[in-house]
Amino acid sequence: MTEANHTPIPELYVSPEAAAALKDEAGNMPSWDLTQRQTCDLELLMNGGFNPLNGFMSEADYNGVVNEMRLADGTLWPMPITLDVSEKFAEGIEPGTDIALRDQEGVILAVMSVTDKWVPNKKLEAEKVFGAGADDVAHPAINYLHNTAGNVYLGGPVKGLQTPTHYDFRGRRNTPNELRAMFKKLGWRKVVVFQTRNPLHRAHQELTFRAAREAQANLMIHPVVGMTKPGDVDHFTRVRCYEAVLDKYPQATTTLSLLNLAMRMAGPREAVWHGIIRRNHGATHFIVGRDHAGPGKNSQGVDFYGPYDAQELFRKHEDEIGVKMVDFKHMVYVQERAQYEPADEIEEGVTVLNISGTELRRRLREGLEIPEWFSFPEVVRELRRNSPPRAQQGFTVFFTGLSGSGKSTIANALMVKLMEMGGRPVSLLDGDVVRKHLSSELGFSKEHRDINIKRIGYVASEITKNGGIAICAPIAPYTATRRAVREMVEAGGAFVEIHVATPIEECERRDRKGLYKLARDGKIKEFTGISDPYEEPQAPELRVDTTAIDVDNAAHQVLLKLEQMGLIGLR
């Protein structure tokens, strides 16, 4: 186990001739469009990363894995690798059917010969595999189970036709056999692997370097770039950071390779799974911390698994996993000695410095200093580029309120004021204008209003993500739809909801467009506030009522709010 195994591992790819023939046949097979997670799983099935699996799991393997962490033949395997499909697709599929598996662009990657079809007990799967709080969709894998995964699982062996295409960092992506061959060529007999889904800072560099030195082994930084925890730093930024840190290691004994794994955040079970995957990639040692691959906080704000010990489960199965566990030492910076040391080896009375993940994010957000003892300047530069201070990030101002409440007028005034300040491009998505250009075929039913608002939200989120300011001014009468837009936008910047709370009596008294009269006369149906609902926002960032204040004043209140949130700097 402590000597690397350089023998090639079985892959599921068929010969190029067989692939060409299967591709022709596949045109007549039922075809399944893989989800992003399934595409990641398929890649590792095909290239041997999930060896000994030869396809998506059968029902017997699945039951064994969920209940005992073992395949039906007794082999240790902690994670269900299943092909979930919709009930509709499953209707026509029986054991014996071959199905074509396609990526998101429709390219046929593999053919699966279905042997099993069953309806899983998702609740049980969530409980057994992902632990406490089986219905809590704050856990990314439980969320996938309940909100993305189809209700039927199909299992069967897979024949690989083609590897999924990656356009980014191609030189850094390696299959298990490529790594085995490389280790053989370099004469690397011991390889310590470090798994991560975060940028590397000095503490990680110290810990990995130390781990490799203690094991007298070479080191492979093996970050996950498939799917990690929602909210993580994107892999493009991370890989640029890893490449920068690579220079800080001895070149002859350290390498970096990217793993296109879809993580599940399953703590101890995940650690064991990662170990098996790394064994397949030619590792002899694997760095594991007590809280390896943790899912973080549940929807009550409490840690999902509480304090847990992934090392314990790993150690118990070390022989079967086939790689040796190396302790993830918690490294801290000792100011007096100006160096990193393992926290459990430090005597009392010295000054220990540390910056938590939350504190790092705050400093990045607010453009504050990040000291050199904490991270490398190259890494900090990349992170700052990815997460500029708030006053340089994009954001959306979303006005909502009744027809005639003053949304468009304030929005226009705000746009002009922001343009006067300069610095960021501003786009106005006014209700009437959007309905002319983006939503001209839509009416005012609940369904159509929702489509209209989601379109506005999508455009606003794109503008926000790219550093611009989007000002939206639709009625947007439904709370749930406004929440959906908020979520979309917040993935790329701030969302500022302004309720223009001018009472209906005042809106009707003004009746600028004469619409209230028409609505009262029954000439316009489903008119908001008269014959259609308006659900008031419960906690908008700001509420303004234009009954008693003028437009300029209202727009200025919005500016003050933006300033308070750190989104603009008033001169």
The contact set with ligand PPS (CB under 6 A) reads 403-404, 408, 431-432, 435, 444, 449, 452-453, 474-477, 513, 515, 524, 526-528, 532
**Residue 558 CB, nearest approach to ligand PPS (Å):** 17
**Residue 177 CB, nearest approach to ligand PPS (Å):** 55
Angle of CA points 476, 444, 518, to nearest 5°: 105
Cis peptide before 8 (omega within 30 of 0): no
Residue with tokens 């005012």: 444
Choose between 150 and 404: whose C-beta lies nearer to ligand PPS. 404
Choose between 395 and 534: whose C-beta lies nearer to ligand PPS. 534
User: Helices in 438-520 by DSSP H: which ranges?
Assistant: 446-465, 479-490, 504-510, 515-520
Distance CA(94)–CA(342), nearest Å, equals 56
Angle of CA points 497, 500, 504, to nearest 5°: 140
> Which amino acid, 238?
R
Choose between 159 and 407: whose C-beta lies nearer to ligand PPS. 407
With CA atoms as reference, report the closest residue to 433 among 404, 414, 405, 456.
456
> Which amino acid, 563?
E
Choose between 109 and 488: whose C-beta lies nearer to ligand PPS. 488
Annotated catalytic residue: which of 63, 143, 198, 253?
Answer: 198
**Residue 519 CB, nearest approach to ligand PPS (Å):** 7
DSSP bridge partners of 113? 98
Annotated catalytic residue: which of 54, 97, 143, 196?
Answer: 196
Q: How many CB atoms lie within 10 A of CB 167?
A: 5
By CB neighbour count within 10 A (0-12 exposed, 13-18 middle, 19+ buried), where does 436 fall?
exposed
**Is 363 a residue of the active site?**
no
**Is 196 a residue of the active site?**
yes
Choose between 310 and 411: whose C-beta lies nearer to ligand PPS. 411
**Residue 556 CB, nearest approach to ligand PPS (Å):** 21
Choose between 394 and 431: whose C-beta lies nearer to ligand PPS. 431
Q: How many CB atoms lie within 10 A of CB 406?
A: 27
Residue with tokens 């996938």: 144
Distance CA(226)–CA(39), nearest Å, equals 9
**Residue 541 CB, nearest approach to ligand PPS (Å):** 19
DSSP bridge partners of 160? 13, 110
Distance CA(267)–CA(141), nearest Å, equals 12
**Is 28 a residue of the active site?**
no
Annotated catalytic residue: which of 197, 238, 240, 264?
Answer: 197
**Residue 478 CB, nearest approach to ligand PPS (Å):** 8
Q: Which residue is nearest to ligand PPS (CB)?
A: 431
Known catalytic residues are 196-198
